Each structure stands twice: as structure tokens, then as C-alpha cells.
Amino acid sequence: MLTPKIINLLCEKAKTLCVNAQTNSANLGFNLITKYPRADLVVIDLKELRLAVHDKHSNIKTLVTKLAENFNCETIMVTRGQEGSLCYAREKGFFECPALTPHTVDKVGAGDAFFSYAAPCYGVGVEEGVLSFIGNAAGAIAVHIVGNREPVKYADFVKFVTRLLKN
């Protein structure tokens, strides 16, 4: 985990800061997105969002709005597994993108793949709706990789997106 000193340095120096703060059984409640004073892009799942705003029951858009109001962040992306993703941009509102595969072999690593493709695209100014599609495409490929044994390769990503766009 990153120390508070390192987090503050990143928040202070980063031109564009993209953050993915994951919660798992080893760090439950101790690795929340709220420990970062700012971020330009936040990518979390629904459970991580609920923990960050301390709300078990509200709908996802209410939760995202709460996080946006209390956190210095321009764009929030929430991964939702087979329901796709929800993106909120402070200036543009909400964007929804469906999941791009009907089948899941292993969901481990899908959020990492989503973030690893979406974050650099955000950094170069890709529009939020396209950003959601890119992240979901990477996640759709990742759920077919058992045990997170290999990354989502760029060539596989291009093939997958090309196939989707042709259909």
C-alpha cells in the first residue's frame, strides 16, 4: 500500500492523476479512494463506491453523486461486472456502457484491465463515452483469461474491438 506521504506527493505533483483503489479481504475498509486528496479519474467497483460513501442502499447514481460532491475528482468510473460500467463526468453528467461479453470465465483482473486501458486514454483526453467502451472492451477480454495469468494484449484488444464494430 502507498503511504500517506507518497499519496500526498502523487496528488501534489501529478499532472493527471488516475486512481484505482481496490478493496479486498486483506484491506477491507483500509484502502478507500477517499484517502487520496484529489484525483482526475477514479475507477472503482460498486462495493468500493459503497464503502467510500458509507451507504449500503442507495442507487448507483446517488452514490456517485455523493462521492463527486465530497471528493475533488473530475471523472468517476464504476465497474459493474455483467452490467457494464457507469461513468460520471463533472461537466457532462452520466454515461452508461453495457458489458461487452455475455460470458465470464474468471472475473479476477477485469477491473485491472479496465483501469490499465482507460487511464492512459483519459490522460490524452479521450471522451468519457469512448473511455467507458475502451475500459469495458479490456474487461471483456480479461474475463476470459483464467487466473489473471496474462495481461490483455494490445493485439487482442484491437481484434476484439474491430470485431465488435464490424457487427
Between the two ends of the chain, the Cα-to-Cα distance in Å is 42
CATH number of 4-166: 3.40.1190.20
pLDDT tens-digit readout, 30-85 = 889 999 999 999 999 999 999 999 999 999 999 999 999 988 899 999 999 999 99
In angstroms, how far is CA 6 from the centroid of its own chain? Answer: 21
Q: At what angle do helices 128-142 and 154-166 cross, to 10 degrees?
A: 110
Percentage of the chain beyond pLDDT 90 is 87
Determine which of 2-6, 21-25, 127-131, 148-152 has the lowest per-residue pLDDT on average: 21-25
Whole-number pLDDT of residue 26: 80
Instruction: Determine the pLDDT at residue 30.
Output: 84
Residue 11: band (very low, low, confident or very high) from pLDDT cuts 50, 70, 90: very high
- What are the residues facing 19 on neighbouring strands? 42
Instruction: Give strand pairing partners of 87.
Output: 77, 95
Quick one: pLDDT at residue 95? Answer: 96
